[in-house]
Every structure is written in C-alpha cells, then in structure tokens.
Chain A
C-alpha cells in the first residue's frame, strides 16, 4: 500500500517483532531441547524426543526430550545431593544467586519474551510487558526472602527436594512462581514444564548455568504426563507444587495421599466478574478485555463469568460488543494485535466443542467482527449470552477467549451466583461505591479478589484458590510456607509419648466386667447444632474406665449424624462473621466455666486414663491455659497489606476456612480435645469433632460446659463413636472445607485421598505423635495457618 492510500485508510498495518535472535538461539541448540540435570545438559535415557510447535503458524520449533522415570530419578538424585549444601549456604548467599537470576532475566528479557511468544502463541506485547517483567520481579522479591528467611521465619527449615509441574499458559512466569520461593527457602528443585512449552525453561536453565548456580539446585526435566507422574510418585521428593487442571490436581492429591509429601495445587477456575450499576462502565469494558481476552482466555483466574446488574445490562452489553469489534486477533509476534494463537490444536478443538455445547443448550453467540488468521490455532473473542447457572458453559472452565454473561438483581444475588461454583480462584468486583465493594469482597469464595481491576499479579501478593481451585498460595509471605516446615515437625516420633491404653476400650464390647447401675444412668448424647441428640441409628457403645470396667455408654454416631452435624455447622455462619473480640469472650467464658468444674473433669481424667490427681490437674490446667492462648489469638491473627508496586492497597485477609472436621488424637484425651477444637473455632470455623474413643465421656461432659458458655449452636458439634468409620464418612463429605486428623498413617492416607473430589484442606499427622504438653508443637502457628484461607484483595485507588 502506498503512503497516499494509507493516508486515506488510516490502517495500522502490521508491526512484527523481529524473531531472528530467538531463532538463532534455537538453531544454536540444534532445535533440540535436553534435560538439565546436575548442571549438565542430558539427553533422555531412551533418546526419545517429540516436536514442539509454534501455534501461530504450526511450524516446529524444536524437538523436546521425552522425559521418563529414569531421567526423573537422575534429577531427584542430583537435587537430593545438592540440597543440604544449598541450604547451608545461608540466606545471603542464596539471595545473591536469586538476585543474579533476576538480573540475568532482565538482561535477556527480549529473548525470553520472543521465545515465549513463539512457543506459546501469546501476543508479544503480553510476554514483553507482563510475563517477563513479572518473572524478574518474582526473583528480586524472593532474593529478599532468602536474605530474610532466618529472621522472618525463624522456626522454618526447607522441605528438601521439591517437584514442580507447571502449565503452558504462562510458561516462564509459572516457573518463576515455583522456583523462586523454593530456592529462597533452601530447597532444591526438579521442574517439569508443560510439553507444549519448554523453550523458556530451557533458556532459564541456561541462565542458571551462566550465573554458576550450584549443580543440582535447579534440575529441568522435559516431557509430558509420564515424566510428571514419575515426579509425583518419586519417594525422595518432599513436596509437589502443581499448577494445571483440576482433574490432574485430583490425580496428584490421590497419588500423594499418605506419602507425607506436602502439596500445593493451583487449579482451574470459573471466576466471576461482577459489574454493579454504579461502576465506570467504559472502564469495566476494558476490565473485561483484560479479564477474558488476556492470553487468549487461557488463564486459570480469567474472569469468565460476567455478572451484570440487570438495570445496566443492555447498556453494558452494547458497549462490550462495540469494544469486541475493535479487538484484533493475529500473528502473536505482531505488535498490533490484542490476541494471538491458543496454545495447541487440541486446545482449539476443546474451545470449539465447548462453544458448540453452549449453543446447543440455547446460548446466543457474539464474536468480534475482525476475524482470525486462516492458518494457526486462532479463536476469536467470544461472548455467550442467554446462559444461566444451569448451563454447562457457565459451570465448566473453557480455558479460551469465551465469556459467558448473566445478570443479577441485587448485591446479595450477585454473591449467590458468584459462589454458585465448584471453583473459587478469583473474582472481580466493579463499583464506585467502596462500601458495596468491600462488603462483597469477603463474601465471595475466591482466593483473589480484584476491586475495579482484574488479573493483577505481583510477587508480594499471594495467589491461590478456594474450593476446587486448589490450595496453597504463591507469592507473598504466605507463599513461603508452602516451601518450609517447622523444625519440630521433622522430629515427630511414630511412637506415642504418652502411654496409650493397651486396648481400644470402646471397641471391647465383649468386656466381662459389669457396668455399675449408677453410671449407666449418666446419659451421654451427641452434641449437634447446640442440642443433645440421640444417634440416628439408635445404638450406643460402652465406655470403660482405665481398668476395663464399663462406666457408661456413649452414642454410636454414624453417617446420618455426620450429615446433621455438617448441616448444623453450615447454619452457624454467625460465628464466622462475628468479631474476633466476640469470639474471644466466648472462649474465655468456656475456660471460666470449665474451671468451675475442674474437680469433676479431673476426676473424669483420672477415671478414664488412670492418671493420678496431680497429673490430671496438670493436664487440666494446661488445657485452660491453651484456651486462653487461642482466645487471645481470636482478634490478633492479623492480615497484611502487601507492598505491591502499583497504586493499590493489596489486602491479605485471613478468613475462616468454614467447616473443619477434627478427629482428635486418641492418646491425648482432654488436652488433645481442647488443643484441637479451640484454635479452629477461635478463628471462626465451625467444627465437627470426633473425640478420642477412650475419653469420649470427657467430650460429652464438655458439651454441658459449652451449653452454658454462650457458644452459638452448631459451632462445635461432637460425634462419638467409631473413629475410623466416622473418619471415613467425614472424609467423603463434600461440604467440609478442612480436615484435621491425628491418628494412624492409614487414616491419614484415607483423609488425604478422599479430599480429592472437593479439594479439602487436610492436615494429618501420618501416624506421628504430637507432644501435646509441648507448646512449640501443640500451640504452633500451624494451628492458625490451618484455620484460615488467605484472600488477597486488590484495591487500586486514586481520586
């Protein structure tokens, strides 16, 4: 076109980024990517490779090593060998390496950006302006955490070798999110990128080599699911960090159940984008563009469910459609486009299938008028209206540039629709009314809430989900906890410190010793919803004293009782929403009322455990002190304001998990009960509690105290009975958010395994015993951390 013609049409033309340096780098690698193990480039043991393509033109970029379990084993060995020395370097020396990585990434930022775009298909603008700068930022930030580890996490020690499996949507950024905190905290890493996108991970390994990172600290395994599986199943890996689909997350949850591996999962989402009638609608339209047409919609936290207040819906949708008509889909390297290629033909097919399904279910389709290039994996920005919460496309993640739109009438209904999802990753709230926005934010079940913004990320702010969007946080101080343990945790014994009863008394139904009549008249019941209730099945179990004499009976709680307890807990949301100050008063009151009955409880302790009076009193006193401790924490486990580099307040708010099932340590009796229930309720959770079998009567005595302590109904629910079968039922219940289990390693495995369907947050002891008399353990911050979800709320401001 001549200048004169362009003068009249005022077209943009194309502005392709030069890819020659990236292409030369690929050629220098012989267009072939190998593993990086123990500081060496290594070909796969069976010498198998698969091709990786540029999705914008289907050209093959490189042959990628097809990693197998032998390769993984070599990498884990190298990482294991390197780990102790890496940690022993100390925070400052690790900080210097992380700083060097950050600097080196900045120095080669354009090469990283172009490679990322060639490999993934995302627009060069995004890899250049968003992905790569965030990567460098992540390493800078975590260089700081390495430096500060000793002072800021004084009880922490590294986990060991960490296996990390990352997705293809933000290849290098997800690598940074995983690698930076792991290395900062003194772990070594075996990382596997997604099979579609290995290039920038290979360049990163090269950078590690250039800066002289010690051998074996960072190991790169390329390949597909089978290499990932080998990492997940490897015995010498202490932790798996995974970002990807919820289905694979479930597989990992099951595969690691009972192994003692720590896991963090960042999974799918169907995040709500809520537009209230007083929002700045033109700005909201741009927010939608950033929410769902960023990275071709292949973003786990994409605002893919648009909820618009009915009063402004027509106006807003008209604005949105007008904006869509301006969006340009084109070659990923072109600097004049809004959207590039989706990652692979298979993903394109999935998107097409999902949209067709939406249309089959009655949705209306709107797509941008600008069209898409003919070759390559392109899909246009798409809006589906005439959909409802019952539509498949509203419930399921599409992972493409497809937005589904619905309306709501009131703020309350907006929250209901937003929360009507199995996912809980992110939410975006648009309103110029700060009262409204800050009212909605805590009500939305999502780990990240963006007020009047969307898809904001930073190393200083935590990121991660609620519900089936996974658990654990990345970024911020909260993200570090995924890569450390408290030093006492590695010292826990598989042998009980207290002498366990020789027989499981409650199960010994055939006991020959007769019960005394007087004791049978003592009627212990279940405690559900603030009421003493009989067990649904109408059975009772005998309770024996320490010498084996039956002294009473307790209900044989079962499935229906668990169901009822969870329903009662669901109704006790007032406890979660009330102030910490109010909760503290109730806890103190429980302590006060217990103390009034000290003699009675101490006698019961003696009777059930055979302890002498002095030991019983010691146990009781410590329990009272512990109630005070958790009462004290009620209004002190503060959130944070993270230091993000934009003009925004980034609030890390600690929210109660919800319903927590607690199966008490069998050996720890009264002290175990108090030590486990109190922190959970202190931070606003509702508890379904299964007491120690041997000391069930202490739990049933305890509810009498609860009844007189102003504790709202449903906050603590006590179900006596067979621990294992109650554990099984609770573990399989879908409406429980958290599960704390102290018991056998088999029981621990069951709890973790059955957590997979709904991604329960589990905390189990793997058959190891806590010392409940040791405050470092039994009053550890772990109780607080396991009581809350951290929600990061971004609030940009500016008059």
Chain B
C-alpha cells in the first residue's frame, strides 16, 4: 500500500497527515454494519450536555472553530465580486480590535478554506494568493450528481487545473439506495485519481441515504476508495448535517484509523449556523476521535453564516454585551 504525503493545507500551522491510499474493495469490512438509530440519537443528545466550554475556553474554541470553516458560497448568482468579498472575509475573519483584545493576533486566524463552484475558482485563487488559504471546489455534478461519469471526471480535472486544491465530490445516492457499493467504490476511486494532489472530500448527502446504516456503509466505501475527507451534505438536501450523522461517520473514521492507521478528515456541512452547534460538533470530534482531529487538516465546517455568529459571540466575550451583526464585516 503506497502512502502519499499530503501537501500542507494550512501553511501557518502545518500538521503532517499521512494521506489515505485506500484499500481494495472489501465488503466484509462493512456489510455487517447495523446502526441503532435510537441509541445514536441518545448519545448525540447528551454529547453537548456532558461537556461545556465557557469563558476563556469558549473564546479559544471559537477562534479554533473559525480555522475549521470552509467559508462557502454556492449560489446561482455568485459573481467574481461576491467571491472576492468572501475571500477577504476568509483572510480577515474577525475584526482586528477584537483579535487584539483577545491577544491572539499572532495566531493569524483565517478560515480553513473557501469553497466555491468551479467557475469561481480562478477568482478565489487570485484573491487568496499568498494567504495560504486553500480553495475548495464542489464538483461531479454537485449537488445531485446526476451527470455522466466522464463529465464528472472532466470537471475535477478542470477544477484542479484551475487551482482548486480541495475537491468536494458528491456520491451517487442512487447506487447507495440500490446497494451497488462496488460502483460507489469505483467512482470515488476514479475521482481520487483525477484529484491527483488535491484533496478529495466525498459528500455522502446523508439526508438522502435513508438510514444511518447506509451512512456508515457509504463512509466505509468512500474511505476504502481513497477519500481524504468524508462530508455529510451538499447543503441542498432537505436534511443536512446532524450530530447523529456525524456520530456515525466519525465512528467509521475511528474504526478505519484503527484498521489502517490513516486519519480521515470529517466535514459536516449545511445548517451549522450557531456557535453552540459549532462547539457541539467540536466536542463530538474531541470525544469520539480525540484532539488529533481538532485541526483544519482533519476537520472542517461547511458553513456560510456560522462565522457571523462566532464574531458576535467573541465580541460578547470581551464586552459582556450582546453584539449586532452590522458591527462585523460581511462576507
């Protein structure tokens, strides 16, 4: 099994992660999986209640949360102007006076990445030049993925050529629902190959997979096929990231790590809008996978409005007064 070395995603605080080279397709690793939904729900419900992060700790955690954000715009009306604004925000996610007051200026906090459609890659790469912030592109017929495989692969090729260093693909939900795991494996493996040095995030679209058991199995197949990250959602499904999906996926990551030694990243996306939610997800990562995963190389939020809530909360931490959104720069 050849093990590739990953490029440094975050140049300011590099963490060396040995890149997942995948496994041969082996159904025996996942066919036995049977997830108990009620039990998962109970664990998810208490995760955020067994741990609490307050005061100084909360401020530090929220700053960390910013570094996990894939600051995202995925809309039909995206324009270069909009994307430039987003990139500026990614580089300067928090008002300078707040950073000064928190005494964290030298942490050089930025978001984890900027995430756009293919057509906006060039603008984003240009805007982020020198910042070390990677550009992620959604791909493979995002969000539904109902396009021919060759076109999907060409799309990846084009995005990588345009400078995206992270590719967020969608898997074929139809193949999950019909139980054709081999086909999922084959397509994801092909995507990984097309990605070359770019990192592959596989979006399961968990809200369309019907059961938690399917979510777990799809997680396994994607990791086997060489995914660097597994990601919940496009943000376009009726149900996006939840703690329940996350619990199932990070447990799969844990078992895959125990089996292979590879650390796979995790990205919940869609619907994560509040600091409370962000902290719950971080608690989940810390409890289920440990501190190793609390790094942008292995954990991202796919979120657009979360940052604004974090900024308000940071200002509240300093002043004791609840903040207003217009006091913070928009993206």
Interface size on B, residues (CB 8 A): 39
B294 partner residues in chain A, CB cutoff 8 A: 10
In the complex, whether B17 has a CB less than 8 A from a CB of chain A is no
In the complex, whether A151 has a CB less than 8 A from a CB of chain B is no
In the complex, whether B291 has a CB less than 8 A from a CB of chain A is yes
**Stretch from B101-109, B130-138, B195-203 that touches the partner:** B101-109
In the complex, whether A282 has a CB less than 8 A from a CB of chain B is yes
A7 partner residues in chain B, CB cutoff 8 A: 60, 63-64, 104, 107
In the complex, whether B41 has a CB less than 8 A from a CB of chain A is yes
Binary interface encoding of chain B residues 27-49 relative to chain A, with 1 for a CB under 8 A from any of its CBs, else 0: 00000101111111111001001
B102 partner residues in chain A, CB cutoff 8 A: 3
Binary interface encoding of chain A residues 284-297 relative to chain B, with 1 for a CB under 8 A from any of its CBs, else 0: 10110010000000
Contact status of A13 and B42, CB under 8 A, knowing A280-B35, A338-B50: no
A518–chain B nearest beta-carbon distance, Å: 72
Q: CA of A280 to CA of B50 in the docked complex: distance in angstroms?
A: 22
Can you name the residue of chain A whose Cβ is closest to the Cβ of B255?
A282
B40 partner residues in chain A, CB cutoff 8 A: 280, 283
In the complex, whether A796 has a CB less than 8 A from a CB of chain B is yes
A799 partner residues in chain B, CB cutoff 8 A: 37, 210-211
Could you say which interface size class chain A belongs to?
35 or more
In-complex Cβ contact of B107 among A4, A13, A14 (8 A): A4
B326–chain A nearest beta-carbon distance, Å: 25
B52 partner residues in chain A, CB cutoff 8 A: 12, 15, 335-336
Dominant secondary structure at the B interface: helix
Contact indicator A647/B39 (Cβ below 8 Å): no
Q: CA of A15 to CA of B287 in the docked complex: distance in angstroms?
A: 17
In the complex, whether B162 has a CB less than 8 A from a CB of chain A is no
A716–chain B nearest beta-carbon distance, Å: 44
In-complex Cβ contact of B34 among A3, A278, A336, A337 (8 A): A278
A472–chain B nearest beta-carbon distance, Å: 29
Q: CA of A5 to CA of B42 in the docked complex: distance in angstroms?
A: 33
Q: CA of A4 to CA of B53 in the docked complex: distance in angstroms?
A: 15
Contact indicator A1/B56 (Cβ below 8 Å): yes
In the complex, whether A200 has a CB less than 8 A from a CB of chain B is no
Contact status of A452 and B103, CB under 8 A, knowing A7-B60, A10-B294, A15-B54: no
Can you name the residue of chain B whose Cβ is closest to the Cβ of A334?
B52
B93–chain A nearest beta-carbon distance, Å: 14
Q: CA of A760 to CA of B69 in the docked complex: distance in angstroms?
A: 63
A401–chain B nearest beta-carbon distance, Å: 15
Q: CA of A220 to CA of B149 in the docked complex: distance in angstroms?
A: 75
Contact status of A283 and B43, CB under 8 A, knowing A4-B107, A796-B38: yes
Q: CA of A798 to CA of B39 in the docked complex: distance in angstroms?
A: 10
Q: CA of A6 to CA of B102 in the docked complex: distance in angstroms?
A: 12
Q: CA of A797 to CA of B211 in the docked complex: distance in angstroms?
A: 13
Q: Which of B38, B41, B46, B104 lies at the interface centre, i.e. has the most chain A CB atoms within 10 A of its CB?
A: B38
Contact indicator B41/A3 (Cβ below 8 Å): no
B287 partner residues in chain A, CB cutoff 8 A: 326
In the complex, whether A746 has a CB less than 8 A from a CB of chain B is no
B202–chain A nearest beta-carbon distance, Å: 21
In the complex, whether B82 has a CB less than 8 A from a CB of chain A is no
Contact indicator A13/B55 (Cβ below 8 Å): yes
Q: CA of A287 to CA of B43 in the docked complex: distance in angstroms?
A: 9
In the complex, whether A11 has a CB less than 8 A from a CB of chain B is yes
A286 partner residues in chain B, CB cutoff 8 A: 39, 42-43
Can you name the residue of chain B whose Cβ is closest to the Cβ of A325?
B290
In the complex, whether B167 has a CB less than 8 A from a CB of chain A is no
In the complex, whether A453 has a CB less than 8 A from a CB of chain B is yes
A335 partner residues in chain B, CB cutoff 8 A: 49, 51-52
Interface residues of B in 176-211 (CB under 8 A from A): 210-211
A2 partner residues in chain B, CB cutoff 8 A: 56, 103
B66–chain A nearest beta-carbon distance, Å: 11
B291 partner residues in chain A, CB cutoff 8 A: 9-10
Q: Which of A1, A6, A278, A648 lies at the interface centre, i.e. has the most chain B CB atoms within 10 A of its CB?
A: A6
In the complex, whether A125 has a CB less than 8 A from a CB of chain B is yes
Dominant secondary structure at the A interface: loop
Contact status of A280 and B39, CB under 8 A, knowing A12-B52, A125-B50: yes
Contact indicator A797/B38 (Cβ below 8 Å): yes
Contact indicator B50/A798 (Cβ below 8 Å): no
Binary interface encoding of chain A residues 1-38 relative to chain B, with 1 for a CB under 8 A from any of its CBs, else 0: 11111110111111100000000000000000000000
Interface residues of B in 85-106 (CB under 8 A from A): 102-104, 106
In the complex, whether B276 has a CB less than 8 A from a CB of chain A is no
Contact indicator A287/B34 (Cβ below 8 Å): no
In the complex, whether B236 has a CB less than 8 A from a CB of chain A is no
Contact status of A282 and B286, CB under 8 A, knowing A10-B294, A13-B57, A798-B37: no
In-complex Cβ contact of A452 among B36, B49, B64, B106 (8 A): B36
Interface residues of A in 317-335 (CB under 8 A from B): 326, 335
Can you name the residue of chain B whose Cβ is closest to the Cβ of A123?
B50
B39–chain A nearest beta-carbon distance, Å: 3
In the complex, whether A432 has a CB less than 8 A from a CB of chain B is yes
Contact indicator A453/B39 (Cβ below 8 Å): yes
Q: Which of B42, B61, B63, B286 lies at the interface centre, i.e. has the most chain A CB atoms within 10 A of its CB?
A: B42
B165–chain A nearest beta-carbon distance, Å: 24
B55 partner residues in chain A, CB cutoff 8 A: 13
Contact status of A283 and B56, CB under 8 A, knowing A4-B103, A10-B61, A129-B49: no
Can you name the residue of chain A whose Cβ is closest to the Cβ of B34?
A432
Contact indicator B57/A452 (Cβ below 8 Å): no
Interface residues of B in 272-298 (CB under 8 A from A): 282, 286-287, 291, 294
In the complex, whether B241 has a CB less than 8 A from a CB of chain A is no
Contact indicator A10/B43 (Cβ below 8 Å): no
In the complex, whether B125 has a CB less than 8 A from a CB of chain A is no
A793–chain B nearest beta-carbon distance, Å: 14
In the complex, whether B59 has a CB less than 8 A from a CB of chain A is yes
Q: CA of A797 to CA of B38 in the docked complex: distance in angstroms?
A: 6
In-complex Cβ contact of B54 among A13, A129, A283 (8 A): A13
Contact status of A3 and B63, CB under 8 A, knowing A10-B286, A647-B38, A798-B41: yes
Binary interface encoding of chain A residues 269-305 relative to chain B, with 1 for a CB under 8 A from any of its CBs, else 0: 0000000001110111011001000000000000000
In the complex, whether B251 has a CB less than 8 A from a CB of chain A is yes
Binary interface encoding of chain B residues 150-180 relative to chain A, with 1 for a CB under 8 A from any of its CBs, else 0: 0000000000000000000000000000000
B residues at A contact (CB < 8 Å): 32, 34-43, 46, 49-57, 59-61, 63-64, 102-104, 106-107, 210-211, 251, 282, 286-287, 291, 294
A-B pairs, top 9 by smallest CB distance, nearest first, are A283-B39, A6-B60, A15-B52, A796-B38, A798-B37, A13-B57, A335-B52, A432-B34, A280-B36
Given contacts A13-B54, A798-B38, 16 further A-B pairs with CB under 8 A are A3-B60, A3-B63, A4-B106, A6-B57, A10-B64, A12-B53, A13-B55, A15-B52, A125-B50, A129-B46, A278-B34, A280-B39, A283-B35, A287-B39, A338-B50, A452-B38
Could you jot down 9 A-B contacts, CB within 8 Å? A1-B56, A3-B102, A10-B60, A283-B39, A287-B39, A335-B52, A452-B38, A648-B38, A796-B38
